[in-house]
Amino acid sequence: MSIGGIIALVITFLGVSGLIFFILFTFYIAGRVYRKTLIRPEDEKRERKCSDINNPQHVEMFEKGLAWAENYNADMTPVEIENEGLKLLGEYYDFGCGRAVIILPGRTESLAYSYYYAEPYRKAGFNVLVIDSRATGLSDGVYFSMGEREKFDVIKWGKLLHERFSNKTVFLHGICIGSSTAVYTLTANECPDYFIGMCADGMYKNFFEIFRLHMKEWNKPAFPIAYEVMVILYKNTGANCLTYGPYKAVKKLKKPILFIYTEKDQYALPEESKKVYANCASPAKEIRWFKNGTHSHVRINDEEGYDSVIKEFVEKHKDVL
């Protein structure tokens, strides 16, 4: 072999070795980011606490929700299901209605967070189910799958509402990732017909995009770490958040859906949210924009307006809902 060939071989070897080292190192970093942000440590204390005590609006929502639950405690029945080997807990509030809503909070939020969103549905004539999703609150689980596996939990919760508590129909109200869980549920082949619609508060295009925005907030390099975190997420849960998300799921949705957004959403960006709405195939879709409030903090900035759009939507589609 000529000297030139040897040099070329050495350069090639060093290049490949460097690439391998780079991939291994960045995957190590991605693994740490994943474990810190997208799983619940097995030794973490299980509790229903406010997830952001440094955000005054978040604390206000949490405290108002606790007051709501205390006010209607006499109407509450503790409930549980088991799915995929996980024991999942919830609370069912029976207001004597023939239909129910399941409130699906954002990632890491327990059912205590969902109390805050229950009142507009109570006033609209719904029984209310709030749940600790897998890996949150008092429920079992370590991994979050961003709605991909949780949809089967929701289907089982709906079966409980329908068969045990005689609710003829089930509506879904999702906040952030809860909205992706809701649309995955309604578009699943296994979804029963008595699931009849949903409200999506802050539905994003796909989780990868929202995670990249979080990475920028944390001053972490989105490339390649965010991509590698999605690979690890897929390996552990089967959720493909790189190429699939609500943007594609709504294309299969045929049931009524109300989209709620704020113009100041820092994650479900308005320009992307409009694309999600446009891609939705439901013949009964509506979108409402609010001027104030950040992501997941819409109602706290206009409770009367928020509740009224839900009431109007329910009344408009009362033949179905």
Average of pLDDT values for 76-97?
98
Instruction: Please provide the size of the chain in residues.
Output: 321
Q: If we measure between CA atoms, which residue out of 109, 113, 112, 107 comes closest to residue 149? A: 107
Q: What percent of the chain has pLDDT over 90?
A: 86
Largest CA distance in the chain: 88
Judge whether 300 lies within some domain. yes
Percentage above 70 pLDDT, the chain: 95
- The answer to whether position 255 is within a domain reads yes
Assign residue 172 the CATH number of its domain: 3.40.50.1820
| Residue 227 counted as domain residue | no
Dump pLDDT digits (tens) for 3-40.
Answer: 445 444 434 655 667 777 878 888 999 999 999 999 99
Cβ-proximal residues to 28 (8 Å cutoff; 6+ apart), any chain: none
Give the other-Cβ count within 10 Å of 6's Cβ.
10
Could you tell me the residue range of the domain that residue 65 belongs to?
55-206+244-316
pLDDT higher than 90, residue 321: no
Considering only CA atoms, which of 245, 250, 241 is closest in space to residue 287?
250
pLDDT of 124 reads 97
Q: What tens digit of pLDDT does each residue of 126-162 get?
A: 999 999 999 999 999 999 999 999 999 999 999 999 9
Distances from the Cα of 93 to the Cα of 66, 68, 122, 249, angstroms: 14, 11, 9, 30
Task: Centre a 10 Å sphere on the Cβ of residue 78 and count the other Cβ atoms it contains.
Answer: 8
**pLDDT exceeds cutoff 60 at 282:** yes
Tens digits of residue pLDDT in 42-63: 889 999 999 999 999 999 999 9
Confidence category of residue 220, pLDDT binned at 50, 70, 90: confident
Residue 207, token pair as written in the block: 């989780």
Residue 31 lies inside a defined structural domain of this protein: no
192: in domain = yes
In a domain, 104, yes or no: yes
Asked whether the beta carbons of 117 and 101 are under 8 A apart, the reply is no
Residue with tokens 């109300």: 258
pLDDT 10s digits, 284-316: 999 999 999 999 999 999 999 999 999 999 999
Domain count, the chain: 1
**pLDDT at residue 163 in the model:** 98
Average pLDDT (203-214) is: 95
Q: Is 14 inside any structural domain?
A: no
Q: Give me the pLDDT at residue 5, please.
A: 54
Which tokens is 30 given? Answer: 């991605």
pLDDT, tens digit, for every residue of 159-200?
999 999 999 999 999 999 999 999 999 999 999 999 999 999
Token output for 67: 């007051």
Give the per-residue pLDDT at 11. 45
Residue 224 domain-assigned (yes or no)? no
